[in-house]
Structure 1
Amino acid sequence: MKTRKLFLACACALFALAAQAQTQVIAHRGFWKAEGSAQNSITALKKAAEAQVYGSEFDVQLTKDGIVVVNHDDTIGGYTIAETDYATLKDLKLKNGETLPTLEDYLKAGKQLPDIQLILEIKPHKTEAQENRISADCVKMVKEMGMEKQVEYISFSMHVCEQLVKLTPGSEIAYLKSDIAPKDIKAKGMTGIDYYYKVFDKHPEWVKEAHDLGMKVNAWTVDETADMQKLIDLKVDYLTTDQPLEAKELVK
């Protein structure tokens, strides 16, 4: 009986380790290719949750009057977001007919979907003052809504990442620009690298280096099956993709 219990305990432990090591899928700008969806829409978030992937990535920008809105580009409807008040932007439509969501809208929707991680990308802004404000506002809103464990942060701006480390040191924070070795990112207090997938052709050793440092590795934006498989074989932790269903099937 004792031998059987020991065997079962070992099997469970091995299963847990295998599950932990499995590459997981993040829907890039949400599952925007689903019917009725659009990039960075709340529908895209909901569709990603329905697809039962690990996370849904989205982008935020700061309006002229300090409202954080969800949009990839720094322009929408012919307006530059950073130079335009929210009142002018609030009724603009996404491709699926939804109005431009604010971060508050997005987080409220995400809070109703606790099984999916929200991968919040803060876009680089023209000034450090703008980056300081949007970083602080995002962290404040996430904390006020009690979503610190559900929200992870990424940015191409090193300044933004450094601010996030100061503002929310317990959060998952990853750098996107793909130009710095993991040990240097670790030294800055970040928890992961989130790099363009082709960088790992040149630096496959960065995956193991990051893992040895206790860091997570994400690769973006991986849409071809052969590229997905190569990265799965490298044991990256996450694939960010516009093809979440295909990626999810492959990692099985």
Structure 2
Amino acid sequence: MKRFFLSVAVAFICLSTFESMAQNKNKVIAHRGAWKNTGVTENSIGALEHAIKLGCYGSEFDVHMSADSVIYVHHDHAIKGTHIEKTSSAELSQIKLADGESLPTLEAYLKAGSKQKKTRLILEIKTSSISKERSLALATKCVEMVKKLKVEKITDYIAFDFDVCKKVKELAPKAHVEYLNGDKTPAEIATAGLDGIDYHFTVYKKHESYIKDTQKEKMKTNVWTVNDEATMKYFLENGVDFITTNEPELLLSINK
């Protein structure tokens, strides 16, 4: 009987290790979801669902806050000539994306993502075009929404504003937070208590030690936005933890 339980325990450990290795091997983060080759609009719930179906490690998306403090998923400050931060949610709710989907709220997006556990939700808090105060308010509301919907375990945060990153970490100490702007060294990121860097590929090529320096600090490295095979292979060979791309299908095919 003891041998039986020992065998089961060993099998469980092996299976857990295998699953962990398989997940860690998948370095693919779909930039604004999987949209380019699927016929859906970037940053849509449909793009998120395609990223999940592909089995991407993560799906990145961007958020802004309306004039009445409702959070919407979109990259640019404006959509169809409508400035999100200066417009009410009543007006924004009437806007349709190119594929016919409504402009998604953060709440709707997170609810869609919460139906699974394998693909992480990489939430980019966009810098306000109006004020620093609004950027920080947006950060606070994002953390509140993530907690409300109980998706903390599958949500990571990224931002170009260093103060926003630190605000998120203050509000959610266990959250994984990475900085985007590329002007901080790995040592500065570690001192700030963040979890990694998410820099443009040109930054890493200019500072070739950044990947190893960041990992020595026990932090993660992500690179954006890498869309060609040669650059993908360069970063895979140099040991970057994750690659954000508009071509998740291509990266998945070479990252086997």
| Same fold? TM cut 0.5 | yes
Quick one: which of 31, 55, 67 aligns to 2:70? 67
Spell out the pairing of 1:67-146 with structure 2 (5 A cutoff). 67-125=70-128, 126-146=130-150
Between 137-146 and 14-23, the greater mean CA deviation after superposition: 14-23
Any gaps of 5 or more consecutive residues in structure 1?
Answer: none
Q: Which amino acid aligns with 1:211?
A: Q
Q: Secondary structure at the match of 1:198?
A: helix
**Distance in 1, Cα, partners of 2:180 & 2:102:** 28
**Counterpart amino acid of residue 201 in structure 1:** K
Asked if 2 retains the 8 angstrom alpha-carbon contact of 1:36 and 1:43, the reply is: no
Aligned to 2:173, the other structure's residue is in SS state coil
Q: Which residue of 145, 155, 161 corresponds with 1:157?
A: 161
Larger mean CA deviation between 63-72 and 126-135 belongs to 126-135
Identity %: 41
RMSD: 2.1
Give the aligned residue type for 2:69.
Answer: G
**Structure 1 residue 113: Cα displacement:** 2.3
Structure 1 residues 250 and 187 mapped into 2: Cα distance closer, same or farther (>3 Å)?
same
Give the paired residue count.
246
**Could you state the TM-score of these two structures normalised by the residue count of structure 1?**
0.92
Cα deviation, residue 245, structure 1: 0.8
Q: Is 2:57 the counterpart of 1:54?
A: yes
2:50 and 2:197 map into 1 onto residues whose CA distance is: 26
Q: Which amino acid aligns with 1:241?
A: T
Are 1:40 and 2:25 an aligned pair?
A: no
Deviation of 1:93 after TM superposition, in Å, equals 1.2
| Compared CA separation, residues 18 and 150, structure 1 to 2 (3 A) | closer
Offset of residue 144 of structure 1: 1.2
Q: 1:108 to 1:21 in 2, by over 3 A?
A: closer
- Tell me the secondary structure at the aligned position of residue 217 of structure 1: strand
Shift of 1:77: 1.6
| 1:189, distance to aligned residue in structure 2 (A) | 1.0
Query: Could you give the per-residue CA deviations for residues 4-59 of structure 1, whole angstroms, max 9, x where no partner exists?
Result: x9xx99xx599688657635100000001243411000000000000001000000
2:175 corresponds to 1:171:
yes
Q: Does 1:214 align with 2:213?
A: no
* Matched-pair contact (CA < 8 Å) for 1:23–1:237: no
